[in-house]
Amino acid sequence: EAKAAGRGTYRQFERSMQTEAENRLRLEHDLRLALQLNQFRLFYQPLIDAQTQEVKGFEALIRWQHPVRGFVSPAEFVPLAEEIGLIHEMGEWVARTAIRDCAQWPSPISVAVNLSPIQLGSPGLPAMISDALSRAKLAANRLELEVTESVFLQDSEGSLDVLRRLRALGVRIALDDFGTGYSSLGYLNRTIFNKLKIDGSFVRGAATRSETVSIIQAIVTLANCFGMTITAEGVETQDDWRRMADLGCHQMQGYLFGRPVPFERATELVGTHWSEARRLASA
Ligand code: C2E
Ligand code: MG
Ligand code: MG
Ligand code: MG
């Protein structure tokens, strides 16, 4: 009887494996079509100056509106796009769209675009970015490119060369999600990065533990010596904001100021004070 039950469980297991594999295949198939079917959107989250509390720019965050599944999170489909090699085409769409959108905002409002480490493996990336900037007539210093420290893990020489060529265009380069991975201080290379983004998991609550405060202080001191702009990500409460501002962060980003919103909504936030921006974003 136990054996029979075991077989039943195994069949169930097999079935669920099969469903999972089918699901994945279908998602993969749908993802390949998503660009042609115009199912991707960019949402924009404001970056706030810690001193003046003005909106300095926006981070572009991709959204996929699937006709059946509804909203699919980038945490799910970006890794899939990387696996199936679609990330290059998708990344190009993101960069060109964000650059065109930013050109409609007044100077010096900037836009930040996330790059996958896979994209940095493509030597043609700087030429594509340069072409997108000139077509949209956007000054290079209004574009920021965000990469995570995973660029140091695979083919780092090739990737670092691509980053150097991007920076040579006059584009700013940000090290994203700092505090989550290896977070070696050796990654704070001033010849590559102009900006450091401290990860939200480090910012929220964590900033109450004294050892975490010391670590953030050390990172901020070093980044300041290198002339880098420091952004605190994932700022959700007034307390988070106050702590990170006291620790010397220059910019703030998080639900406290506003969630990612469509382009038209973001445009309404330009030129507003953050308290007003928050009211508009949550209205
Ligand atoms: P990320 O670049 O670190 O982006 C920040 C993420 O934190 C976003 O999630 C944002 O919505 C979320 N966030 C912002 N403020 C808060 C807050 O106060 N609290 C909390 N809990 N979360 C907050 P999202 O949009 O789901 O994106 C997740 C990740 O997907 C991004 O992390 C980025 O790594 C990746 N991603 C998004 N768009 C793109 C893209 O266009 N290209 C690539 N390659 N990756 C992208
Ligand atoms: Mg980012
Ligand atoms: Mg981040
Ligand atoms: Mg992140």
Distance from C-alpha of 5 to C-alpha of 147, rounded to nearest angstrom: 49
Rg over alpha carbons for the chain, rounded to the nearest Å, is 21
For residue 207 the two structure tokens come to 């900033």
Tell me, what's the pLDDT at 139? 98
pLDDT band at 184 (very low <50, low <70, confident <90, very high): confident
Whose CA is closest to atom 13 on ligand 1? 234
Distance from C-alpha of 99 to C-alpha of 178, rounded to nearest angstrom: 25
Does residue 113 carry a pLDDT above 90? yes
pLDDT band at 3 (very low <50, low <70, confident <90, very high): low
Ligand 1 nearest atom to the CA of residue 233, by list position: 15
Which of 198, 211, 89 lies closest to 148 in space, CA to CA? Answer: 198
Cis peptide before 108 (omega within 30 of 0): yes
- Our answer on whether the CB atom of 199 is closer than 6 Å to any ligand 1 atom is no
Residues 18-38 have pLDDT tens digits of 788 888 899 999 999 999 999
Residue 280: count other Cβ atoms within 10 Å of its Cβ. 15
**What mean pLDDT is reported for the chain?**
91
Phi, psi dihedrals of residue 53, rounded to the nearest 5°: 60, 25
With b for 16 or more beta-carbon neighbours within 10 A and e for fewer, the 105-116 pattern comes to beeebbbbbbbb
- Average pLDDT for residues 165-184, to the nearest whole number? 91
Is the Cβ–Cβ distance between 115 and 147 less than 8 Å?
Answer: yes
For residue 231 the two structure tokens come to 């952004």
Does residue 154 carry a pLDDT above 80? no
154, 179, 222, 245, 256 from 183: Cα distances, Å: 16, 5, 13, 21, 26
Whose CA is closest to atom 4 on ligand 1? 61
Does residue 135 carry a pLDDT above 90? yes
pLDDT band at 278 (very low <50, low <70, confident <90, very high): low
Grouping H, G, I as helix, E, B as strand and the rest as coil, residue 139 is coil
Please, where are the H alpha helices in the chain?
2-34, 74-83, 87-102, 125-136, 156-168, 200-203, 210-225, 238-246, 263-269, 274-282
Ligand number with the minimum distance to the CA of 199? 3
Is the Cβ–Cβ distance between 263 and 242 less than 8 Å?
Answer: no
Phi, psi dihedrals of residue 20, rounded to the nearest 5°: -65, -45
Residues 115-127 have pLDDT tens digits of 999 999 999 999 9
> What is this model's ipTM?
0.98
Tell me, what's the pLDDT at 204? 85
pLDDT > 70: percent of the chain: 94
Tell me, what's the pLDDT at 4? 64
Ligand number with the minimum distance to the CA of 146? 2
Which of the residue ranges 10-14, 60-64, 151-155 would you say has the lowest mean pLDDT? Answer: 10-14
Give residue 233 CA to ligand 3 midpoint distance, Å: 6
Strand 55-66 relative to strand 110-114, pairing: parallel
Q: Supply the angle between the helices 156-168 and 125-136 in degrees, to the nearest 10.
A: 20
Give residue 61 CA to ligand 1 midpoint distance, Å: 6
Q: Which of 19-23, 43-47, 148-152, 205-209 has the highest mean pLDDT?
A: 43-47
Whose CA is closest to atom 7 on ligand 1? 234
CA angle 144, 146, 151 (to 5 degrees): 135
pLDDT band at 129 (very low <50, low <70, confident <90, very high): very high
Residues 190-238 have pLDDT tens digits of 899 999 999 998 888 766 778 888 888 988 999 999 999 999 999 999 9
pLDDT band at 277 (very low <50, low <70, confident <90, very high): low
53, 73, 203 from 105: Cα distances, Å: 18, 27, 29
Residues 238-256 have pLDDT tens digits of 989 999 999 999 999 999 9
- Our answer on whether the CB atom of 62 is closer than 6 Å to any ligand 1 atom is yes
